[in-house]
Structure 1
Amino acid sequence: MLRTDGGGPDTPYDADDLARNFGKIAFINEHSGKSAAFVSGPSEIKLNRWKSPIRIRTEFGPSVSMESREADRQTIQNYAKRLQKATGHNVRSVNGDGNFLVFIAGQDDVAYAQDRLKSLVPGIPDDRLNLLRTLDRPFYCFVFTFSGQEDTNTVIRAVAYIRAELPNLLRLSCIHEEIAQGLGLPNDSPAARPSIFNDDDEFALLTSHDEKLLTMLYDPRLQPGVTADDARPVVRIIARELMGQQL
């Protein structure tokens, strides 16, 4: 459906819904990407998020027109401001060195994109690069993150890849979902509504529900490495605060 209204009377949710959805989305990991073709099976994880400032750099394949590039850059710049407001974390779009790379490229740009990623992300695993070449047509976009060697629960780099051939709204939906997931919300849940963290693609753009999930993710009362069980009481408190419900 790719709704852009963010939800309404038909999509009510309360603090319990928010806390439950956060648990399913932040503490379970499966490969991101708008296709069932890229699934390795869900696994429980500890909380992952960034500590360093997030600098989003946008790269394009040669086939992407200048008009599309300008539009996508502006979209990502505006979105970065929204994400910074939601998380309270330092997030912005940059033209120079970045640690969160968003690559928008067409099917004919795969070889270029692989070479460019090797240059921009030293040590990027071959299996990640091979994904670009073996993508099935229904596969719209994906994101993968890299953690520090000593602190495996802290994200230090991310790469999102988005097909340039997508219709405008679907490409915008990919931008919203993949960047948000790269901040530390790696899973989708069929129970999350109204949300982009749901494989049914009912909603195209980040919703108020999703902004609250990001606020929870970067709340200082939760720290990278906390388990779902240990976080649950705090998550419940934060969710009720955000929804204006009594503890």
Structure 2
Amino acid sequence: MTLTRCFLASFLLFFASFTLPNAASANDSFTTEELLEGFEKTVFGLEYRSWSWRPYLVKKFTQPVLFYVHNLSSRDRSKVVRRFVREIGNRIGGLTTGITNDRNAANFEVYVVDRAQYEDVVRRDIYKNDRARVPGRCLVRVVSGRKGIKRSAAVIVSDEGEFLFKRCLVEELLQGLGPMNDDAALIHSVFNDSSRHSRFTVFDQIILNMLYDPRIKPGMSMKQTKDILPLVVRDARRRVR
């Protein structure tokens, strides 16, 4: 073996030993206790209590989630939204997602707006109340019942920078699937208004895979999930790579 080949082989061996464990262990970066706490804070909390049935119980879709995209902003963000919807479907076991061109067939509507449109769209299309208070810089509303989430609708602001758009897209679409609360203690999560995450983090992927595990049923209380959650965490780790 020549000196050049020897050096190259040594470098590749070093590079592999340096990078592969990190990739393989990404889903082991968090303790079981951290993930259980994250599940408790996001799934059993509720940022805006009046938006959902029985707020402190499990909320999730039990049927395929069909998204319809309303691009009302001056910039067409449809491709980005559709790409993230596909990512959601690829990364969450137990959940089927799709995109429809038939608004009446959708159970998750996404409105992409400019800031000047935000309040009008929220009042007219989300609350259907011209006098409703409009919270937040972007939002999602979830309508849930005993058999799970019936429908969700998110409003995402497009024209106030890439960070806000991407963060809102990720946070609101994921919250519309069930983990509806934010908490400042969740430093690895987009479900934290103080964090700088704008992507579907590994931590959040595990939380969503826990929620969509078939053993977790709509309407379950925190007490009812307590005994099975350690097994659910273990299996969710295996699904997230």
Match of 1:143 among 124, 140, 143: 140
The aligned counterpart of 2:210 is 216
Aligned-pair identity (%):
23
Q: Runs of 5+ in structure 1 lacking a partner? A: 1-7, 33-38
**TM superposition shift of 1:241:** 3.3
Matching residue within 229, 241, 245 for 2:235? 241
What's the TM-score, normalizing by structure 2? Answer: 0.76
1:117-167 per-residue CA deviation (whole Å, 9 max, x = no partner) reads 2xxx7xx5527x7345xx5xxx3201111124xx2x511111111223220
- Counterpart selection for 1:106 from 114, 138, 144: 114
Which residue of 99, 102, 106 maps to 1:96? Answer: 102
- Point out the more displaced range, 106-115 or 88-97: 106-115
Structure 1 residue 116: Cα displacement: 6.3
Q: Count the aligned residue pairs.
A: 208
Q: Which runs of 4+ in 1 moved over 4 A?
A: none
CA contact (8 A) 1:144 1:182 kept: yes
Partner in structure 2 of residue 179 of structure 1: 173
Measured after TM superposition, the shift of residue 190 of structure 1 is 2.1
Q: Distance in 2 between matches of 1:232 and 1:29?
A: 19
Aligned partners of 2:176, 2:64: CA distance in 1, in Å?
13
Q: Which has the larger radius of gyration?
A: 2
* Equivalent position amino acid for 2:224 in 1: D
1:20 lines up with 2:37 in the alignment? yes
Counterpart residue number, 1:193:
187
> How do 1:156-171 residues align onto structure 2 when only pairs under 5 Å count?
156-171=150-165
For 1:67-82, what aligned pairs fall within 5 Å after superposition?
A: 68-69=75-76, 72-82=77-87
Q: Distance in 1 between matches of 2:78 and 2:84?
A: 10
Alpha-carbon distance in structure 2 between the residues aligned to 1:194 and 1:30: 18
Q: 1:131 to 1:162 in 2, by over 3 A?
A: farther
CA 1:203–1:108: 2 relative to 1, 3 Å: closer
Whole-angstrom distance in 2 between the partners of 1:59 and 1:83: 19
* Separation (CA, whole Å) in 2 of partners of 1:88 and 1:202: 28
The letter of the residue matching 1:54 is V
Q: CA deviation at 1:12?
A: 3.9
Between the two structures, name the one with larger relative contact order (CA 8 Å, sep ≥ 6): 1
Partner-residue secondary structure (3-state), 2:226: helix
1:29 partnered with 2:46: yes
- Please tell me whether the aligned partners of residues 62 and 149 of structure 2 are also in contact (alpha carbons under 8 angstroms): yes
Over aligned residue pairs, what C-alpha RMSD do you find? 2.9
Please say if residues 69 and 110 of structure 2, whose CA atoms lie closer than 8 Å, have aligned partners that are also in contact: yes
In the aligned structure 1, how far is the partner of 2:124 from the partner of 2:107? 14
